[in-house]
Amino acid sequence: MVNRSDVHYFGAGPAPLPTAVLEKATQVILNYKDKGIGLFEISHRSPEANEVLADAKQALATLLDIPDDYKVLFLQSGGSGEFSATVYNLVAIWVEKKRAKIAEEVGDDKDEVLRRLRKIVDEELKLDYLVTGSWSLKASQEATRLVGAKHVNVAIDARKANNGKFGIIPPESEWGLTPRTTVGGPALVYFCDNETVDGVEFPAFPSSLEGDDAPLVCADMSSNFISRKVDVRKYAVIFGGAQKNIGNTGIAIVILRKSLLPPHSTPASPDLLRELRLPVGPIVLDYPTIAKNNSLYNTLPIFDVWVAGQVMSALVNTYGIKKISGQEEISNEKARLIYETLDKYPNVYRVVPDKAVRSRMNICFRVSGGDADKEKAFLAGAEKKGLLGLKGHRSVGGIRVSNCKCTYNNLLYYRCFCFTTV
């Protein structure tokens, strides 16, 4: 029988959770707080469920220093669902702002308001996407599916600067962002902070998106969530699937600027969006609805929130005043150990992305130039040593070491990896 302590899992799918959390989970599944029923069985509207939500929010707020003017939401959409949610919510806000401005100018003439609004939507509605890997590409494709290609501006497609493959982030001077004018800019600017499949990570927040007048910025942080310090105030929306780095599969976490919620911002009505031939999102992806109901509009998987809360609380207790900076040091060191080993043997290993944008969380490389037999032998040898989940994504092949799956792994495992796979 293989023991849990005998293997070290590096796959990019659902996270291997801390053993201590899993051991506690077996208890709360059977009998939560001595109530005679398990956490799976309690009502999502019970005081216990609300306590689980509050504890998870507080742990995340503490780790990331989330300001009071932001809201934390839990949804069942996963990261892919948020590709759609950001479009539905932010386009509706953009449209309503335009409608209100026109109404100030023309008064109660609804036909004239609609006429002008149609023209503005047709000519000015833009959603900017920085496509630097497979996930931002999918997000841009979903936006195109929802609002149409004419409204989606792919400000960069990194493949065009890298022989048709992802692996670099072009200089910001080459980005084709929608111009910011006196009447406004794009409804959103979207980028994926860390590309899980392609091993590309933004080394820092893009300087061209800095400033108080910046358009709404949405960032997919699924696979580098709670791995480094983030200035939350720079973002209107941050989201990530919990399973990559925080918990088990089942929930997405959204950090949302409160100014995007009523009464500060009002989305366009469904009737108006239909008049403009723009999509109306499902209610379970509607941020105002989810926020108003404390993430409990529909039946939230409270156990999944509890797991995420336990993981984050453990990090709070482990790092104290260092908060997420403590975990950032560990993440950086793990990545350094592996990249230094790979770079030491260039005749054997080739790191896929450019050195300037190498992901700390998903280390993608090829063995012997991508020789299929040698990569297969590499994976087989690694498995014998208890190093699992190293096969690259099916769309790109190769080898991938996902640091995000090993938040709690001792650095010794990484030294073991570097020593045994050369």
Q: Look at residue 320 and tell me whether its pLDDT is greater than 60.
A: yes
Please indicate, yes or no, if residue 21 is contained in any of the structural domains. no
Model confidence band, residue 225 (pLDDT cutoffs 50, 70, 90): confident
Looking at the fold, whether 280 and 331 belong to one and the same domain comes out as no
Looking at the fold, whether 157 and 241 belong to one and the same domain comes out as yes
- Among the candidates 304, 339, 356, a domain finishes at 304
Looking at the fold, whether 242 and 276 belong to one and the same domain comes out as yes
Q: Say which residue the tokens 């959390």 belong to.
A: 21
Q: Look at residue 416 and tell me whether its pLDDT is greater than 80.
A: no
Q: Look at residue 406 and tell me whether its pLDDT is greater than 60.
A: no
H or E stretch covering 255:
strand 252-257
Residues 94-141 pLDDT 10s: 999 999 999 999 988 999 999 999 999 999 999 999 999 999 999 999
Structural domain that includes position 215: 59-304
Residues 152-199 pLDDT 10s: 999 999 999 999 999 999 999 999 999 887 667 899 999 999 998 999
Looking at the fold, whether 74 and 207 belong to one and the same domain comes out as yes
Q: Look at residue 43 and tell me whether its pLDDT is greater than 60.
A: yes
- Among the candidates 276, 304, 332, a domain finishes at 304
Looking at the fold, whether 327 and 300 belong to one and the same domain comes out as no
Residues 350-402 pLDDT 10s: 999 999 999 999 999 999 888 899 999 999 998 888 888 899 888 888 999 98
Looking at the fold, whether 330 and 292 belong to one and the same domain comes out as no
